[in-house]
Amino acid sequence: MEKLIPKIILDTDPGGDDIFALLWLISLVKQGLAELVAITTAEGNVAAEQTFAAASKILNLGGLNDVEIGRAVAVPHATTDAAHIHGSDGMGNLSQTLPESDRSFETAKYSDQVIIDALLAAPGAITILAIAPFTNLAAAETQHPGILRQAKEIVLMGGAFGCAGNITAHAEFNVAYHPEAAQVVLNSRSDIVMVPLDVTRSLIFTEAMAHTIQQANPESAIAQFIAALCSFMISTALTYRETQGDRGFLIHDAATVGYLFYPETFLWRRATVQIETQGLWTRGQTLIDNRQVAKAGANAWIATQVDAPNFFMGLIEDLKYL
């Protein structure tokens, strides 16, 4: 029987946790378990030029220079970024420690066009892991209505259902940055997969984990970078009390990769999800319509629990492979 290797587009705004998700994917590609079709960078944690530069440097570090990288579609309104968590370069202020890449931001294709072209070339075959504000996906759907239905699956890191938000009291960052875009994506099909903050808040990556990876490959530049990025992310997580004082940081975005390759580590519920796009205090809030008992009209699967020890076992073993 032919083994099906997942073909993936990663839509990302690096971002420390985005970089861990990307490194995990690079490891899976190197193990012959995944195909990275493209990276589509987005605005979010930092500005478009920085997310493009960070993705370029990480792909270069991982030796995947032939993978296309798209540049972010502009968000139509001003918002607050998360450079205070991820560093002004989105990579823990470590960009100068990595070799330059040859890619040009100015001449790169826009991310929405990369998504459209890839989905038209391989309808039904590509999984999109979206770990940034959903501007690129929404722009692709607006430009080419129905295009997101051509993805095999769309997996979002986003939303906060039964817990407080992380950028406002009620909203999670990826949704709050561009709520209208999140609504377009949720309207695009009936099987959007969402891993929300409620679950990713239990995924704390620790210094000890970085140390285990480094011990497996003491000379590896990637392992050294992982340890340095982990230290930076822990310092800002402690400053902003993201982990209630635990010495670790929340590796939110890696949850999407964990779901795809270790699906047994998650539990799910079916739901009708809507996005608050108007509220003065609640803009970007994700809401479940619990009246829909029969689940008619549901648009999403929402992760409700993660088996963190097994999730981290998969992540650490794969990162050791790099």
User: For binding to Ca ion (CB under 5 A), which residues are involved?
Assistant: 13, 15, 18, 131-132, 253
Q: Nearest Cα to 177, choosing from 122, 223, 134?
A: 134
- Distance of closest approach, residue 120 Cβ to ligand BDR, in angstroms: 27
Stretch that binds ligand BDR, among 10-18, 108-116, 262-270, 276-284 (CB under 6 A): 10-18
- Distance of closest approach, residue 150 Cβ to ligand BDR, in angstroms: 24
- Chain residues 97-136 in contact with ligand BDR, contact rule CB under 6 A: 131
Assigned token pair, 288: 């479940």
CB 51 within 8 A of CB 39: no
Nearest residue to the partner ligand BDR, using Cβ: 173
Assigned token pair, 45: 């944690």
- Distance of closest approach, residue 12 Cβ to ligand BDR, in angstroms: 8
Give yes or no for residue 11 binding ligand BDR (CB under 6 A).
no
Binding ligand BDR (rule: CB under 6 A), the pick from 172, 242, 276, 318 is 172
Nearer to ligand BDR by Cβ, of 237 and 298: the residue is 237
- Distance of closest approach, residue 249 Cβ to Ca ion, in angstroms: 13
Binding ligand BDR (rule: CB under 6 A), the pick from 89, 112, 253, 318 is 253
Q: How many alpha carbons fall within 13 Å on the CB side of residue 321?
A: 17
Residues identified as active-site: 252
114: left (phi over 0), alpha (psi -120 to 50) or beta: alpha
- Distance of closest approach, residue 271 Cβ to ligand BDR, in angstroms: 19
For CA atoms 96, 98, 104, 105, give the dihedral sign: negative
Give yes or no for residue 89 binding ligand BDR (CB under 6 A).
no
DSSP state of 107: T
Give yes or no for residue 57 binding ligand BDR (CB under 6 A).
no
Give yes or no for residue 178 binding ligand BDR (CB under 6 A).
no
* φ, ψ (nearest 5 deg) of residue 151: -80, 150
Residue reference for tokens 């990876």 = 213
The count of chain residues that interact with ligand BDR, using the rule CB under 6 A, is 14
DSSP state of 3: P
Alpha carbon separation from 189 to 131, 138, 152, 183 (Å, rounded): 18, 12, 11, 11
Binding ligand BDR (rule: CB under 6 A), the pick from 166, 168, 188, 299 is 166
β-sheet bridge partners, residue 269: 302
CB 82 within 8 A of CB 167: yes
Stretch that binds ligand BDR, among 56-64, 122-130, 168-176, 187-195 (CB under 6 A): 168-176
